[in-house]
Structure formats: C-alpha cells, structure tokens
Structure 1
Amino acid sequence: MRMFLKEEKSANQCTALILAGGHSSRMAFPKTWKKTSEGITFLNNIVRLYKNAGVLNVVVVLNEKFTREQWENELLEIKSSAILVKNSYPTKGRLYSLQLGLRFCPSKFVFIHNVDSPFTPSVVIDKILNQVEENGVTIPSFKGKGGHPVLISNAVKNEIINRYESYETLRDVFACFPKKYVAVENASVLQNINTPQDLALFNYEVVE
C-alpha cells in the first residue's frame, strides 16, 4: 500500500467542483454543452477527467437556463456521475455560484474547475495532488504564471461558504491564505475557451 506524505493527497480525499453557471454569451451556444469531435460535451469531458483520476465526488453548478428540457439527454448523463446544483441567480457572480456548490462538497479539499477549461490533462491533477498546500490554495503554474484548476483546503472552503459576500473576487479570498504553486509542463492550465476562435486553437472540431 502506498504511503502518502503530509503534503500529498489521494484523489478520493478530494471533491471536484465544476463551475458552469455563466451565460456563455461570447460562444453563442452554451459552453457546457459544446462537444468535441469525439461527441463528448465540455462538461462531461471534465467529469470524466476527475472520475478517471479517482475523484469519487463531483459536483456541478449549472446555470438554470441550461437545465431545460432541450438538454435532457446531456443532463441525464451528468446526473449519472455527478451532483447537479442549479444556479437560478447567475448574475450574482462567481463567488455566489461557488458557495452554492461548496455546500455540497463533503471533503476537506476541493478542486475548482471552470467549464471553459475542458481539456486539462490528468497529469496536472496528479501533480497538484502530490504537492498540496494543507491550509490554503494549490495552484498549477506554467512558465511562472498561475493557472487552473486550483485545489482549496477546508479553511478556504469554509471562508467562501460563510463569508463570500465580504469579497469582490475569488482572488481576494485567496489573498488571505497561503498559496503553493506547482510547476507543470502543460500550457492548457493558462487557457480558457470563451469564443469559437479560442476553441479553434485546440484543433477540435465543434459539433452542436
């Protein structure tokens, strides 16, 4: 049996929280339900990433307007492998969406993953788990620049749940806690897909 060092965590000690509560206005189609050339939605691609990494609990915060009947098949697939939390007030911002989801995260450590980063390689998750900041935030970095997804500790989780209205941004929350940067060799940790042009950079065929 493998013995874990203090700063290491096994995947089953963590929850993955996927934020998909935005409007996707720049994509002209919900990013959540965009598909790769393999026919997998962005959201399901991320869920699979964490499940394959051994993360047992996955929570998705989803804009309520993307839970309508027209997305029934996609929703059924997500519900089979994740807890779905509807965000009825996306205009309240990211921290509001985040605290909604954190209330359903049972573990002390939580990955925060945005739906606009659907192509994160599993090696990034592994590297983060190998160098965890126990009392703060673990952040992957590429060429010295911090990226995503991040892993937050129980202290950060509770601060967001209890005091999210006291902060303007998630960056403001993180400023109150220790941070550990984990160097990775994957530029994807810096990339977000917000427009069709962004998606084209990944050489993926979009299927709607």
Structure 2
Amino acid sequence: MSVRGIVDMVQISIDVPRGEAGYWSIIRDLDVGGPWTVRQICDRTNVSTSLVGRYVRRLKLAGIAQIVETRTACNVGGGNLPAAVIYRLAKRPLLAPRISPDGKVRPELGIEQLWRAMKMAKVFSPADLAEHCPDVAPGTVKAYLQALSAAGIVAGTPAAYRLVRNLGLQAPKILATKLVYDPNKKVVVGPSITFEVKP
C-alpha cells in the first residue's frame, strides 16, 4: 500500500485578468465598491505596478479616472512606504478604453466597428459593411466575414450574410496558434502559443 504525502502537488489553471481589458474589468469591479489604488489592481493580476500604473495614468489623462485622495508616505519600521494615490472613475464605458500615452482616446478597431454594424443590421453584405465602416479596408471586411462564416457566427452568401450567433459586446478575434507537431506520433508536443492576427 502506498502512502500519500501530506502535501500533494496540484496543477491549477486559473484565468488571471491581464492586459488593458483585464485591468479595466478589475477597475470597474473595484470602483463599484468605492475608491481604489493601482496596488489593488496589481494584487488581482500579478502584474508589475509600473504596467498597471501606466494604464491608470492614461485613464487619468483622458479624464476617465480621477484622483480623489493622495496619502503621504510614512516611515514604518525604518523603511519608507510609498504614497498611495486613490482613484475613482469619472466615466464608466463597458469596454476598455483604448488610450494613447498622451491621454487621447484612440478610435475603435476595425473589427469592433464591423461587429457593431453586423449586430445592428439584420442582413448585410461586405459592401454594406464597408459603407457603414469606411475606415475599414474592403479586404479586411471580406476576410473577417469569411472567418466568422467558417466559425458559424454568420451564415448566408457573400451577397446576404446574417448574424446567427451574437457572442456579446466584444468583437470576436481571429487568432493564430504556433505549436510543435510530432509527425511520428501524430501529436502536438508542448504548449501552444496563440496570438491575434489581423483579418
């Protein structure tokens, strides 16, 4: 009979919010409960304070977040603790604001424009979407519709597509995956690396 140790090693896969969309969802949650700090966001993402701090700084420059209190630094146990800056949201858009380093709100991505237009229209063609989204290249419209059609999100013909699966507020992204394949055993070896590509 084998004896198990007191401590067993367990692999747990936890979805930790990362990137601007992740930071934004945490900020919105924290703001419902009252004022928040950059440190509180970092505690939920396991990301450095400098990365989160840069995003919050851009939110402040854009007028989306505002400082409501600044706590002065204090000397505790011979070490200086940094000052805490306390924030609240002045605006609460649902999607993460896309903000340049100087605080200017950047226009939404082409796929976001296309997704919104598809949800508003009952039936649409690539030409219809190109007309409603003039900033999106016609080739991008066609490639995005082909990808969504292959995934079963839109159905129909190029002359008349319709949305059959409304997946929600955020536009579906087209991803590519790099992986190592062993043709001898016909298996994928190791983890895959996934990244977003432009349609």
TM range (shorter): under 0.3
Structure with the greater alpha carbon radius of gyration:
2
The higher-RCO structure (CA 8 Å, 6+ apart) is 1
Structure 2-normalised TM-score? 0.28
| Structure in which a larger fraction of residues adopt helix | 1
Scaled by the length of structure 1, what TM-score is found? 0.27
